[in-house]
Amino acid sequence: MTGIIDAHTHIWERASGDYTWLTPAHGVIYDDFGLEDFAPVRAAAGVDRVILVQAADTPGDTDRMLAAAAAHPEVAGVVAWLPLQHDDLREQLDARLATGRVVGVRALIHGMADGEWMLRPDVAEGLDALAAADVPFDFVTSGPAALALVPLLMQRHPSLRLIIDHLGKPPVGGDAAQFEEWSRLLRGAAASPRVAAKLSGLASAVGAPDGWTVDDLRPIVAEAVAVFGPDRLMYGGDWPVSNLAGGYVRTFEGLHAALDVSSGDLERIHHGTAVEWYGLDPCAARA
């Protein structure tokens, strides 16, 4: 029996100065969060291992995650930040991979002023370096419209593996037109077999704990399963951002109440897809 891997967990420390996006306006997540804080809620949901995902475009954030991974055997891997547009990207990538803990790369592209930053020629060189090293890139959006970039990226970088975070921020609880537009964009993004997605951050995107229901999640989750299948979907809890939507356990239970799949498919979403796409040890936590 394999355990549950949460493929999308964050930690942060405000005094570091790395998390300039985090302000008192963020309410309950305007605080410091470490894996010690996560342990009891993770256990309550039955989650055994986590993948730490970058929360700032800084070396310090990655260093913090790597230090946590060294101290916590439940960390299965780290999705690090790297400056994709820099000339020494390959050297920096090699150094991060040499730790034996970095399994992917992400940048906070959803907060950038240039909505097409990913298409820049200097960034393209960085994506080619990731593809050559077989390191997946996590693609995070501020809304569904950014999914239109995914087919372009896969045309330009056909050997890159790309993982869409939070299903591209679908319109949870939205109207039919919004759903159809998101579905169209998601299907276009999923056309490449080298694109996967995370069932993560769905309720968090809504915000208020009373702003979403399981019924709101059902059509979103069903569409994701239809589009990607369990072999290209993985579970992510998005802690501590999930606290905005009522807490980790509530969002975990809400997602799973909306997820209508077989036990075998659920095991794939809980474990197998993350193992395959991030190249994890399938059986054991890191020592």
> Is 254 domain-assigned?
yes
Average pLDDT over residues 103-130: 94
Tell me the C-alpha to C-alpha distance, in Å, between residue 83 and each of 58, 118, 133, 207, 270.
Answer: 9, 12, 16, 30, 30
Distance CA 124, CA 111 (A): 19
Average pLDDT over residues 102-118: 93
Q: What is the residue range of 245's domain?
A: 4-278
Q: Using only the alpha carbons of the chain, give its radius of gyration.
A: 17
DSSP structure class, residue 209: G
> Is 148 domain-assigned?
yes
Reading the block at residue 286, the tokens are 């890191």
Nearest to 254 by CA among 212, 200, 214: 214
Question: What is the percent of the chain with per-residue pLDDT over 70, rounded to a whole number?
Answer: 98
Average pLDDT over residues 277-285: 82
DSSP structure class, residue 253: H
Distance of CA 276 to the CA centre of its chain: 15
What confidence category does residue 1 fall into, taking pLDDT thresholds of 50, 70 and 90?
A: very low
Distance CA 177, CA 188 (A): 17
Average pLDDT over residues 74-101: 96
> Is 284 domain-assigned?
no
What confidence category does residue 284 fall into, taking pLDDT thresholds of 50, 70 and 90?
A: low
Reading the block at residue 110, the tokens are 């959803």
Q: Is pLDDT at 286 greater than 70 in this prediction? A: no
Distance of CA 144 to the CA centre of its chain: 15
> Is 27 domain-assigned?
yes
DSSP structure class, residue 268: I
> Is 130 domain-assigned?
yes
Distance of CA 74 to the CA centre of its chain: 17
> Is 205 domain-assigned?
yes
CATH number, position 34? 3.20.20.140
> Is 88 domain-assigned?
yes
Reading the block at residue 173, the tokens are 């609880």
Angle among Cα 66, 71, 72 to the nearest 5 degrees reads 95
pTM over 0.85: yes
Q: Is pLDDT at 23 greater than 80 in this prediction? A: yes
pLDDT of residue 98: 97
Number of domains in the chain: 1
What confidence category does residue 282 fall into, taking pLDDT thresholds of 50, 70 and 90?
A: confident
Instruction: Give 2 or 109, the one with higher predicted confidence.
Output: 109
pLDDT of residue 78: 98
> Is 285 domain-assigned?
no
